[in-house]
Amino acid sequence: MGSGGTRLLGIFGDPIAHSLSPVIHNLSCNLLGLDYRYLPFHVVPERLSSALQSFRNLGGVGFNATIPHKEALLPLMDELTPAARRIGAVNTVICQERLIGHNTDAHGFLAALQDVRPDLPDGHHVLVLGAGGAARSVVSALLDTGCQTLILANRTLSRAEALAQFFAPHDPGHRIQPMSLDVDRLPWETITLLVNTTSLGIHGEASLPVAWHRLPDDAFVYDIVYGPRGTPLTRLALSYHRQTMDGLDMLIHQAAAAFTLWTNHEMPVAMVRSFLSRSRDGHTLDG
Ligand SMILES: NC(=O)c1ccc[n+]([C@@H]2O[C@H](COP(=O)([O-])OP(=O)(O)OC[C@H]3O[C@@H](n4cnc5c(N)ncnc54)[C@H](OP(=O)(O)O)[C@@H]3O)[C@@H](O)[C@H]2O)c1
């Protein structure tokens, strides 16, 4: 119900109605007996700054940001964590006397992968499909690992090139190779970790073409998109006998990191995961 002492958390996005984050955070607070409420706020881009001010005026503790606000929040922060600065996007805000912008997506991406395959991605050859906002977090995370090569393939080549240039100061070994999304020209035979960060699949549409007959049998396929019973890509990967995972665990891990920043408590991740696995139909996954 909420009380005079209830503390406010939330998420800003446009659209926002189908976000899973309120379920994740409110369930966690209930399980831990914490008096917080996490609300979804439909914030259109031109109202971002005033929504932020209103949230602060109401005494809000912190909020998540999802499409299309992650980059627009950067200049509105008093302080950025090294991760947010490096990724160039904010997905978690702490409202104290100063506004602190964090990014927990890169952590979420890697923590979820290493839960399932702790051997990845060190020493492996990675192909990242997509060069949008989510790819920024994925590339940032991968650059901190010992992956051998990192091909960044995007429909719009210039966007992949711009991302490679953005990360060049953190890529002294020149591991990032921007390429266009041309299925015939990508070096599938060398790839041992395939990561989809394009938005394809979120509404069940067909995934990008993959040369399955050229991809090694032991290649791992990680789709950061999420859908009921997996995504078109993870279902295809399974039909081609590849090990695979979708983006649900990334979502939970990025949420868990934000939860701890706001509440100083550990999210009961296993219980949240088990609940979501049973009730994930019809929600989006990027926050
Ligand atoms: N699991 C999680 O926690 C998590 C976190 C963040 C995001 N996500 C998911 O990641 C996805 C991408 O999010 P984003 O923020 O990166 O979106 P974005 O910034 O809009 O980028 C979209 C990317 O998809 C590509 N793309 C879109 N339609 C395409 C098509 N028909 N053919 C080929 N490429 C296409 C775009 O290529 P162009 O550059 O050529 O347009 C771009 O690289 C979303 O589905 C989101 O739900 C999941």
Measured in Å, residue 134 CA sits from the centre of ligand 1 at 7
Residues 227 and 162 in one domain: yes
Q: What is the pLDDT of residue 281?
A: 55
Q: Whose CA is nearest to atom 34 of ligand 1?
A: 155
**What pLDDT does 96 receive?**
93
- Average pLDDT value for residue range 37-54: 98
Residue, of 202 and 256, whose pLDDT is higher: 256
Catalytic choice (70, 125, 175, 280) = 70
Residues 94 and 154 in one domain: no
Assigned domain for 136 exists = yes
- Asked whether the CA dihedral 193, 239, 245, 64 is positive or negative, the reply is positive
Q: Whose CA is nearest to atom 23 of ligand 1?
A: 198
Provide residues with CB under 6 Å of ligand 1.
67, 105, 108, 130-135, 154-156, 159, 181, 197-200, 202, 208, 224-226, 247, 250-251, 254, 284-286
pLDDT value, residue 2: 75
- Assess whether 115 and 12 both reside in one domain: no
CATH number, residue 259: 3.40.50.10860
Residues 174 and 230 grouped into a single domain: yes
Percent of the chain surpassing pLDDT 70: 97
Residue 143 confidence (pLDDT): 97
**By C-alpha distance, which of 146, 142, 169 is closest to 224?**
142
pLDDT band at 283 (very low <50, low <70, confident <90, very high): low
Is 67 contained in some domain? Answer: yes
What pLDDT, on a 0 to 100 scale, did the predictor assign at position 201? Answer: 75
Considering the domain architecture, whether residues 230 and 268 belong to the same structural domain is answered as no
pLDDT of residue 212: 97
Please indicate, yes or no, whether residues 182 and 141 belong to a single structural domain of this protein: yes
For residue 284, being part of any structural domain is answered with no
Atom of ligand 1 nearest to the CA of 284: 47
Q: What's the pLDDT at 202?
A: 74
Concerning whether 70 is annotated as a catalytic residue, the answer is yes
Which mutation among 198, 231, 233 tests ligand 1's pocket best, with the greatest number of atoms within 8 A of CB? 198
- Give yes or no: residues 230 and 261 share one domain: no
285 in a structural domain = no
Give pLDDT, residue 94: 98
Residue 279 pLDDT exceeds 80: no
The string of pLDDT tens digits covering residues 81-133 is 999 999 999 999 999 999 999 999 999 999 999 999 999 999 999 999 999 99
Each residue's pLDDT tens digit, 193-215: 999 999 887 777 777 889 999 99
Q: Please check whether residues 99 and 124 belong to one and the same domain.
A: no
Give the domain range for residue 28. Answer: 7-103+249-278
What atom of ligand 1 comes closest to residue 131's alpha carbon? 43
Instruction: Give the residue-averaged pLDDT of 9-18.
Output: 94
CA of 133 to the centre of ligand 1 (A): 7
Alpha-helical regions (H) of 33-180 = 48-57, 82-87, 105-116, 133-143, 157-167
Q: What is the pTM of this model?
A: 0.94
Closest CA to 12 of 87, 81, 71, 57: 71
**Cα–ligand 1 centroid distance for 194 (angstroms):** 15
270 part of a folded domain: yes
- Atom in ligand 1 nearest the alpha carbon of residue 129: 43
Predicted pLDDT of residue 11: 98
The rounded Å distance from CA 201 to ligand 1 centre is 10
- Alpha carbon of 214 to those of 154, 189, 195, 210: distances in Å? 19, 5, 16, 9
| Residue 283 domain flag | no
Query: Within a 10 A sphere around the Cβ of 224, how many other Cβ atoms?
Result: 31
Q: What is the CATH number of the domain that holds 147?
A: 3.40.50.720
CA distances from 47 to 68, 72, 73, 230 (A): 12, 11, 12, 34
Same domain, 75 and 132: no
Mapping DSSP to helix (H, G, I), strand (E, B) and coil, where does residue 196 land? strand
Q: Is the domain of 238 the same as that of 134?
A: yes
The β-bridge partners of 80 are 101
| Same-domain pairing of 117 and 73 | no
How confident is the prediction for the chain on average, in pLDDT? 94
Name the pLDDT band for 162 (thresholds 50, 70, 90): very high
Same domain as 256, residue 218:
no
Which pLDDT score is estimated for 183?
95
For the ranges 6-10, 190-194, 280-284, the lowest mean pLDDT is seen at 280-284
- The per-residue b/e assignment along 187-208, b for 16 or more CB within 10 angstroms, e otherwise, is ebebbbbbbbbbbbbbeeeebb
Q: How far is the CA of 128 from the centre of ligand 1 (A)?
A: 11
